[in-house]
Structure 1
Amino acid sequence: MQNEIPIIIRPSRDADVEPMLAIYRRHIRRGIEAGVEDSGTPQPDDLRDRRKNLRNRRLPHLVATLGGEIVGYAYVVLFRKRPAYRFTVKHSIYVHHDHLGRGIGRLLMQALIDACAAAGFRQMIGYIDAENTASLALHERFAFARVGLLPGVAYRYGKWSDSVMVQRSLGAGATLPATPNGTASPT
């Protein structure tokens, strides 16, 4: 029996920006998100600024490494900017095309859920291309419920594509009020 190299999930670093952008660009050019203009692809400085902003807000921005190589990344942003939505985040996960099907998305998802719950967030939202059956199945395994269908919101490969909106409660979810610091308030 051979020893497998472990997949390590850790906070992203500035040095991870180029490999993360390579993964993202591949998704734009050839993945489920392919067929769209590449002109909006973030540049290294854009991603560095985004990471800094997320870090300052204490929002998780994680990478998965395998033998020191970046093989995936994940992050959350606030669902909406208005204060009423401060307990809800929207997540994104990207896995390197050569490492799909190895459980990297699962590990990143679990780490995001754990980090967001520990930070006091109560709801996690995601938008998934309706044709991305692997991502839809992953979200179902993590108890995300399909809460909406957004028909024809993306245009790629010369046709309109649908997005599925998913949602999962974290911690006490919406069952208890929140205190100003984000923890559940006593009843």
Structure 2
Amino acid sequence: MSVIREATTADLEAIRAIYNQAVRETTSTWDHQERSAADHQHWYDVKHDSSFPLLVAEDAGEVIGYASYGLFRPHSGYAYTMEHSVYVRPDHHRAGLGRALLEQLIELARERGVHALIGGLSADNVASLALHTRLGFAEVARMPEVGRKFDRWLDLVLVELVL
């Protein structure tokens, strides 16, 4: 049974391992470089200092997924719009964990006065697109060939949930 809770600094290495696996093996992120421990600590500090939620899913004492949101764009007019991310360890895919993390993140966003959540998804990430659709996100933009990874062009799909 998984528990979802706020992350602590003790979770950072497990979160970094999940993210770096996605960098190496998926188009869930279009980063090409894995994050160092220092990079990840800085990422965490920005989340913490900005009071952005960082949730982890834990099972049997192991972090198996995480979700967070942060600024969509840095201009003041976007202050109520956030961009979110959800990552789950591959050995826990298709168990409802991504949905549970995203549902809790949506609830926190509502409680904190966020007006809209944006997701930037690779068009080839069919599972993530389906999850977002099931949770009420609407596709608001499709941008062909704006990214590149694994020697191929990638399409970006922006999805939005107005809270």
Alignment of 1:110-149 (within 5 A): 110-149=103-142
- Which residue is equivalent to 1:56? 49
Which has the larger share of strand? 2
- Which residue is equivalent to 2:84? 91
Residues 34 and 142 (structure 1 numbering): CA distance in 2 closer, same or farther, change over 3 Å?
closer
Provide the aligned length of Structure 1 versus Structure 2: 163
Q: What code does the residue aligned with 2:2 have?
A: I
Residues 25 and 81 (structure 1 numbering): CA distance in 2 closer, same or farther, change over 3 Å?
same
Query: What stretches of structure 2 of length at least 5 have no aligned partner?
Result: none
Query: What stretches of structure 1 of length at least 5 have no aligned partner?
Result: 1-5, 171-187
- Which residue is equivalent to 1:21? 16
TM-score, normalization: structure 1? 0.83
The question of 1:9 aligning with 2:4 is answered yes
Deviations 1:72-131 (A, max 9, x none): 011101111111110000001110011101111001101110111100010000110101
2:74 aligned to which of 81, 106, 128: 81
* Kept in 2: contact 1:29–1:35 (CA 8 A): no
Q: What code does the residue aligned with 1:13 have?
A: T
RMSD: 1.5
Q: CA deviation at 1:56?
A: 2.1
Q: CA deviation at 1:52?
A: 2.1
Q: CA deviation at 1:36?
A: 6.3
Residues 100 and 88 (structure 1 numbering): CA distance in 2 closer, same or farther, change over 3 Å?
same
Which has the larger share of helix? 2
Measured in 2, the distance between the counterparts of 1:20 and 1:168 equals 25
TM-score, normalization: structure 2? 0.94
